Structure 1
Amino acid sequence: MPEGDTVWRTAHRLHQALSGEELVLCDLRFPEIATVDLTGATTTEVVSRGKHVLHRLDNGVTVHSHLRMEGQWRVERADESGRWLRRADLRAALGTTQWAAIGLRLGMLEVLPTAREGEVVGHLGPDVLGPDWDPARAVDNLAADPQPVGSALLDQRNLAGVGTLWASESLFLERLHPWTPASQVPRERLESLVARISKLLDVSRLHAVQSSTGSRRRGEEHFVHARSGRPCRRCGNTVRVAMIGRAPQDRTMFYCPICQGGLAPDDDGRTQRPMGSAGGRANPYRRT
């Protein structure tokens, strides 16, 4: 699922292409809004809120979208938009005389009054990349959460924009065990963790390749994320993956048991194949 830095960059790109311009193309392919016509309205701004995209128009409505697992917004030249409109995975097309915003495989799309945006994003905690970012409030939220700290980071009510990649990487860099209850982590360590997350996302929002290592060369971008079964870059032991959180909201968490204080509660320690290795493609977390 795209994380806050990717969604911020998406909204920024849409804003640059569409803001201040009148819409001459509107094709919304979600059943509930398929008949909505926004042509003639002018884009005032496109912003991100955590993992949500809010496309605001001067007629008082907002196009709200969420990319979920596979969605994306593309910006294409208006004179080339025709081929995109024929795609089976098209969910939205909003265009001006120069540019077209093409929404593919969007997980959520709705049109609502801008004054009611709070109904869809009001539950979110402070946005790591937003104007409302408040690290002290984020720390307070985490400190009050009895969930494992890895799950607490993924709970968008605590702070908005963090997904499994940045949760795994920040916890590794801070040497924190992901399954330690957040409320039991010393406050100074939560403050360091939140500062680390803020720095990682702030740097990453400016780049197409997400990296925590400083390298954007393929295979060198991350310390633990998607590196289960491979050597830890810090200690040389084996990076592992386990599920964190309660089903059906549980998510994958990558970690180093040596650097981060032991195995996950449900990790039996058996050998895990490296992701993408022969025999492991169907299920990269399969154990042998």
Structure 2
Amino acid sequence: MPEGDSVFRVAARLRAVLAGQVLTAAELRVPAHATAVLAGRRVLEVVPRGKHLLTRLEGGTGPEGATGPEGATSPEGGLTLHTHLRMDGRWAVFAPGERWSGGPPAQIRVVLGTGLGTAVGYRLPVVELLRTADERRVVGHLGPDLLGPDWDRAEAVRRLRADPGRPLGEALLDQRNLAGIGNVYANELCYLAGVTPWTPVGELPDLDRLAARAHLLLDANRLRPGHITTGDTRRGRGNWVYNRAGRPCARCGTLVLTAQHGTPPQDRPAYWCPYCQRGPAPQGRGPGPRGRGTRR
């Protein structure tokens, strides 16, 4: 599932061809909204909210009698197209006249075209059209957005502390605590904190520092791919432990371990260094005191 910085970049690409432009083509190829007519409406903005994308459209019926949710056709009744990529979704942007090459036509869920280009949403698992006034219904549960203008570190820490017995890896992935962290950053933040993903939140001495580091990492990566956490942008050197099972820890050389964390079907692979990270681990693989890992 894309991290918040990836969604931030997707929003920037969509904004470049949609924001401020009138839709000349608009198709929602999902049963719930297949009859919605959006062509003729102006796109006001494309806003990332954690891992969610909100494409806001102006109100009014438009030259073609645009329709949407009940009550959304009045001059003041703006609409929002809410989409989420989850594991397989993708937005592709094409120049005018360019052949669409993002996947088979059967995988297309959304088409939004303007004079500047066309945004095509492939395999989008979430496509929802609602009144802009009702956005809270789909994103109101989210915690402070790590890349939002209203990022609130103190509130994020308060939410994390509310369940001190919860494993840190799970707490970081819970978008109700802070929005934008995916499995890459959850693993890397645990590593940087020197604890395993199964360490209870309440055992961390400095959650404020952890939240500040999360914001720093996503902000540093919001305009570049790779989710770099080591500061090294070279291929294969961008992360400390994520996706490095059986390979040396980037800091100490100990072989990185992996296991699932979380509750199925929401479980995710965890990666940790048994030398650099203290705390519990599954199946008797806990690292114990620092220094007992198998180093190379």
Q: For residues 26-175 of structure 1, what are the structure 2 equivalents within 5 Å?
A: 26-59=26-59, 60-80=78-98, 87-145=105-163, 146-175=165-194
- For the residues of structure 1 that align with 2:103 and 2:225, how far apart are their CA atoms? 25
Name the counterpart of 1:254.
271
1:76-113 CA-to-partner distances (Å, cap 9, x unmatched) read 11212566696221111101022111111112111110
What displacement does 1:49 show? 0.4
Between the aligned partners of 1:266 and 1:248, the Cα distance in structure 2 is 19
Cα distance in 2 for partners of 1:251, 1:2 equals 13
| 8 Å Cα contact 1:72/1:106 also seen in 2 | yes
Counterpart Cα distance in 2 of 1:134 and 1:205: 18
Q: Tell me, yes or no, if the aligned pair for 1:143 and 1:185 is still in contact at 8 Å.
A: no
* Alignment of 1:25 onto 2:25: yes
Partner of 2:8: 8
Go from structure 1 to structure 2 and tell me whether the alpha carbon gap of 1:198 and 1:176 turns closer, same or farther (over 3 Å shift): same
AA aligned opposite 1:28: L
Q: Pairwise CA RMSD of aligned residues? A: 1.7
Question: Among 197, 208, 225, which residue is 1:178 paired with?
Answer: 197
Query: What amino acid sits opposite 2:275 in the alignment?
Result: I
Partner SS, residue 69 of structure 1: coil
| Structure 1 residue 267, shift from structure 2 partner | 5.6
* Matching residue's letter, 2:174: D
After TM superposition, give the deviation of residue 169 of structure 1 in Å.
0.8
* Distance in 2 of aligned mates of 1:228 and 1:128: 28
Specify the alignment match of 2:290 in structure 1.
none
CA contact (8 A) 2:102 2:122 kept: no
The higher radius of gyration belongs to 2
Query: Where do 5+ consecutive residues of structure 1 fail to align?
Result: 270-288
Distance 2:179 2:222 in 1: 14
Q: What is the distance in 2 between the residues matched to 1:85 and 1:268?
A: 42
Select 1:192's aligned residue among 209, 213, 224.
209
Q: Deviations over 1:24-59 (max 9, x none)?
A: 111211111111111000000000000000000012
Identity %: 50
Tell me the matched-pair count: 267
Question: Alpha-carbon deviations, 1:225-256, whole Å to 9, x = none?
Answer: 11111001111111111111222222221111
Contact kept? 1:148, 1:178, Cα under 8 Å? yes
**Structure 2 equivalent of residue 207 of structure 1:** 224
**Which residue is 2:238 aligned to?**
221
Within 2, Cα distance between the matches of 1:82 and 1:159?
35
Listed as ranges, the gaps of 5+ residues in structure 2 are 60-77, 287-296
Alpha-carbon distance between aligned partners in 1 of 2:161 and 2:280, rounded to the nearest angstrom: 23
SS of residue matched to 1:79:
coil
Name the SS for the 1:78 alignment partner: coil
